[in-house]
Amino acid sequence: MSLWEYANPTKFMRTSGAVLPFVVAAAVLSCAGGIIWGLSVPDDYRQGSTIKILFIHVPAALMAINVWLMMLVASPIWIIRRHHVSALAAKAAAPIGAVMTLIALITGAVWGQPMWGTWWEWDPRLTSFLVLFLFYLGYIALWASVEDADSAADLTGVLCLVGSVFALLSRYATLFWNQGLHQGASLSVAPGERMSAVYRYPLYLTMLGFFLLFLALLLIRTRTEIRRRRLAALLARENRA
């Protein structure tokens, strides 16, 4: 089993079709379990009940970045080796990543209002997430506006590579520009800053849940893209005949 076997859409469809129900079930179970567990934890002594937003906010933020990373890996695989499924997977991933970024921003705002007294602050982390969202928008818009499928995959692939570099640059440039309110790493391993186990374990579960959710959505969307491509090919053949 190698990545290159799945460049064959038929093979990808067969395997992903077999795996999909299990991924969906696992995603639903771990998301629901994690969120219910998260809602039942005791209130934090400083943050009160707003700590429960954490169980959506942190996994969404994590996936917002990881989805872009996945696109960053998928793009060169397409550009260099013409792995069609890889290009379609990157296309399918972008809207999921954009929504994850939006969820992270919105839940962050909802949490920030009672905690920091403001919905929005030009903090480096917040700002770089907004920038990431803009990059997602540009990427999606470019996919939508190029008609030829292969050219669109090429152009968005190049954009993803260039965009990654500049998203990263913006991340550190904003750090230079403004010192923020947002705390550092949420899951620091340093003993003094470590989050209490009461909050940590449900958080791990929702993080796993969001990852599985992304995987399930990605598989579904990629399968849709492949079917759409097949349909277009069939229609083109019919028109020729």
In angstroms, give the least distance from the CB of 101 to another protein: 13
Q: Which residues contact 208 (CB under 8 A, 6 or more apart)?
A: 30, 34
Nearer of residues 22 and 177 to another protein, judged by Cβ? 177
Stretch that binds another protein, among 1-9, 17-25, 31-39, 169-177 (CB under 8 A): 169-177
Nearer of residues 6 and 136 to another protein, judged by Cβ? 136
By the 10 Å C-beta count (0-12 exposed, 13-18 middle, 19+ buried), 165 is classed as: exposed
34 binds another protein (CB under 8 A): no
166 binds another protein (CB under 8 A): yes
173 binds another protein (CB under 8 A): yes
135 binds another protein (CB under 8 A): yes
16 binds another protein (CB under 8 A): no
Stretch that binds another protein, among 30-38, 50-58, 83-91, 164-172 (CB under 8 A): 164-172
Cα gap 38→50, rounded to integer Å:
11
Q: Is the dihedral of CA 76, 146, 138, 215 positive or negative?
A: negative
Please report where in the chains the tokens 């906010």 appear, as a residue.
57
Nearer of residues 73 and 168 to another protein, judged by Cβ? 168
Q: Which of 75, 170, 206, 222 binds another protein (CB under 8 A)?
A: 170
Stretch that binds another protein, among 42-50, 171-179, 192-200, 225-233 (CB under 8 A): 171-179
102 binds another protein (CB under 8 A): no
Q: Which of 72, 142, 208, 215 binds another protein (CB under 8 A)?
A: 142
- Give the long-range contacts of residues 221-225, CB within 8 A, separation 24 or more: 221/92, 221/93, 221/95, 221/96, 222/12, 222/16, 222/85, 222/88, 222/89, 222/92, 223/13, 223/16, 223/17, 223/20, 224/92, 225/88, 225/91, 225/92
131 binds another protein (CB under 8 A): yes
Q: Are 218 and 89 in contact (CB under 8 A)?
A: yes
Nearer of residues 124 and 209 to another protein, judged by Cβ? 124
Nearest to 138 by CA among 119, 158, 156: 156
DSSP state of 45: T
Q: Which residues contact 98 (CB under 8 A, 6 or more apart)?
A: 133, 136, 137, 140
In angstroms, give the least distance from the CB of 218 to another protein: 24
Q: Which residues bind another protein (CB under 8 A)?
A: 131, 134-135, 137-138, 141-142, 145-146, 151, 154-155, 158-159, 161-163, 165-167, 169-170, 173-174, 176-177
